[in-house]
């Protein structure tokens, strides 16, 4: 029996979850990027974290982050080159608790707008 998937810590759900190319690719099956894949791209490409720091932030091993990030980049590259649509949702994740140390994005998101972070089953 395989080991159950460990939930990845995610700072916040993406504000935009659906993307479509203007030209071509409309007949292709939509590309689905999971929330944890999105988070790995956000942390490493936008925030500039390395794999070790990203793994610590997401509370998984570096090898797991490497696998998540590799899958995410392949999906994003496919969307950018072939067009069609990209949807972000699902996956095995848990949202950061409010005010978690070392997670500046979550803290701003939770306290700036008056929202409270809570655990999520990963259903979007």
Q: Are 47 and 37 contacting, i.e. CB atoms less than 8 angstroms apart?
A: no
pLDDT band, residue 104 (cuts 50/70/90):
low
Q: Are strands 31-33 and 18-20 parallel, antiparallel or unpaired?
A: unpaired
Per-residue pLDDT at 37: 96
**Angle, helix 62-82 to helix 51-58, in steps of 10 degrees:** 100
Q: In this model, does residue 81 exceed pLDDT 60?
A: yes
Interatomic CA distance for residues 117 and 124, integer angstroms: 15
pLDDT over 90, % of the chain: 48
pTM value is 0.75
pLDDT by residue (tens digit) across 18-70? 999 887 655 678 899 999 999 999 999 999 999 999 999 999 999 999 999 99
Q: In this model, does residue 89 exceed pLDDT 90?
A: yes
């Amino acid at each position: 029996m395989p080991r159950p998937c460990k939930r990845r810590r995610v700072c916040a759900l993406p504000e935009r979850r659906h993307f479509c190319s203007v030209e071509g690719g409309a007949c292709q099956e939509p590309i689905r990027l999971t929330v944890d894949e999105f988070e790995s791209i956000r942390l490493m490409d936008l925030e500039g974290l390395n794999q070790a720091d990203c793994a610590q932030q997401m509370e998984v091993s570096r090898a797991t982050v490497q696998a998540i990030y590799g899958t995410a980049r392949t999906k994003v590259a496919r969307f950018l080159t072939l067009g069609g649509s990209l949807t972000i949702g699902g996956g095995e994740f848990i949202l950061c608790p409010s005010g978690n140390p070392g997670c500046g994005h979550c803290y701003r998101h939770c306290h700036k707008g008056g929202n409270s972070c809570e655990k999520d089953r990963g259903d979007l």
